[in-house]
Structure 1
């Protein structure tokens, strides 16, 4: 696939920043970018989703390791939620591998739109109030399975479901975003393994649906950006942090509609 290295490097930096600030791991930034670059391919959306999950494995893992000493990651919110997320991640990835391009794109757009409306319309996301509350067993199990399947299908990691979930448990944005990264790792690993399987549309420079050159270029720029941004995230005011999260989703939605 022909791609513009400079454009990918610029977006790679943005991916690194959003990985730390919002726990995206790359998904909601990577998918529209790669989809636009691969638009002439019959499997453009599959390539975008697959490459997104591969990039997310590295970015989310590095961001998690970088945040270990910050005190933002709390085990009681990670486990067993991460285990339940992993359960249906393979189901979501396998379903996406056999779904039509138009269906994946339409569901991606709808999902981003619903998340934006929910974040703005329901109380508890934009403004932090109250003491932190634990996740209930039902949220851990049923919610975790739903997060795994949906996020793997769309190639977006778990952040767009886990950040609002943790936010409504009265956690600061910095903590919610930091914990979104370890919660995205099982989705990214399982999804990458599924998308790396040989396909009848595979071409030179790809591993299954994963474009190795595009993924490598994005990582070359995103990894240094993660290292720099993690030092600044605690200094971002909480409300500005939450508003920025929603604003980036709006930009993502508009970019997908424009392509």
Structure 2
């Protein structure tokens, strides 16, 4: 009974995380990782987990939640013809290898370093959403095979280290090279599976459970968080989408960009020890 009383507050908090992630994903059309990682990062600290451990657990748990949602997303985008199969074949192997290597590196660096990475990428993504949402492509076409190989490694390596899918970095990168937004989003959904699945397998194989990890943490993945977040994210994403249909899309994107900028800045301030 005492153990149950100790677990239920974090259980409720994890359920709230799933609801929030689902609504925000549907509302703003973003992948769950960019929402789940910072929410878990701050949530776990409220239950006595150190910032260093919280970021490592948040990153790995987020990757675990991306796997089933990515499979569902790929099916939907593929049925609509929005997955660029040729591009996926060219990039896929490099993304997969980069994901495995990036996961290994993530177990060898501190959680603070991962927080730095997430914060900086979140800030850049928010600024891109704010100031380049309607801008024309920077380049007329994708570079040659070597250039695309480098791009694939960047998408796979950076994404897996901070617990996000392929969309957060992949979509703005592809659209800047004149890939249509629909194709970029659909193809990036496939990137997400190639990032998350080998990433979470690697982290489960070689990651070590932090001493201050909450109950139910296996290696670096918090199983209760996975169990609570997945169904609630799937259940509430359509709710967010329905709300979004009634509101101005441009204003929604700006609101999310501002929220993401504030979150990234707050994490950066914390890890820097400024406050």
- The interval holding the TM-score normalised by the smaller chain is 0.7 to 0.9
CA distance in 1, matches of 2:235, 2:209: 35
Q: Which residue of 2 aligns with 1:127?
A: 134
1:165 aligns with 2:173: yes
Would the alpha carbon gap of residues 119 and 139 (structure 1) be closer, same or farther in structure 2, given more than 3 Å must change?
farther
Question: What is the CA distance between 1:171 and its match in structure 2?
Answer: 4.2
Would the alpha carbon gap of residues 48 and 126 (structure 1) be closer, same or farther in structure 2, given more than 3 Å must change?
same
Q: Which residue of 2 aligns with 1:201?
A: 210
CA distance in 2, matches of 1:67, 1:240: 25
Question: Could you list the runs of 5+ residues in structure 1 that have no partner in the other structure?
Answer: none
**1:6-41 residue CA offsets vs partner (Å, 9 max, x unmatched):** 4433432443355565452x2111111111121122
Would the alpha carbon gap of residues 245 and 70 (structure 1) be closer, same or farther in structure 2, given more than 3 Å must change?
farther
Would the alpha carbon gap of residues 199 and 153 (structure 1) be closer, same or farther in structure 2, given more than 3 Å must change?
same
Aligned 8 A contact 2:94 2:149 in 1:
yes
Q: Which residue of 2 aligns with 1:12?
A: 18
CA distance in 1, matches of 2:170, 2:184: 8
**1:113-148 residue CA offsets vs partner (Å, 9 max, x unmatched):** 233345555xxx411647x96533233201111221
- Kindly report the root-mean-square deviation, in angstroms, between the aligned alpha carbons of the 2 structures: 3.3
**1:194-241 residue CA offsets vs partner (Å, 9 max, x unmatched):** 221352537652221100001110102112234667899999988567
Q: Which residue of 1 aligns with 2:71?
A: 61
Aligned length: 254
Q: 1:32-181 counterparts in 2 under 5 A?
A: 32-39=38-45, 40-42=48-50, 43-118=53-128, 120=130, 125-127=132-134, 129=136, 134-136=141-143, 137-181=145-189
Aligned 8 A contact 2:127 2:257 in 1:
no
Q: Which residue of 2 aligns with 1:210?
A: 221
Would the alpha carbon gap of residues 16 and 215 (structure 1) be closer, same or farther in structure 2, given more than 3 Å must change?
same
Aligned 8 A contact 2:129 2:253 in 1:
no
Question: Could you list the runs of 5+ residues in structure 2 that have no partner in the other structure?
Answer: 1-5, 271-275
CA distance in 1, matches of 2:91, 2:171: 13
SS in 2 for 1:46: helix
Q: 1:21-32 counterparts in 2 under 5 A?
A: 22-24=29-31, 26-32=32-38
Q: Which moved more, 1:233-242 or 1:132-141?
A: 233-242
SS in 2 for 1:218: helix
Q: Which moved more, 1:238-247 or 1:72-81?
A: 238-247
Aligned 8 A contact 1:28 1:252 in 2:
no
Question: What is the CA distance between 1:54 and its match in structure 2?
Answer: 0.3
**The structure with more helix, counted as a fraction of residues:** 2
CA distance in 2, matches of 1:111, 1:221: 26
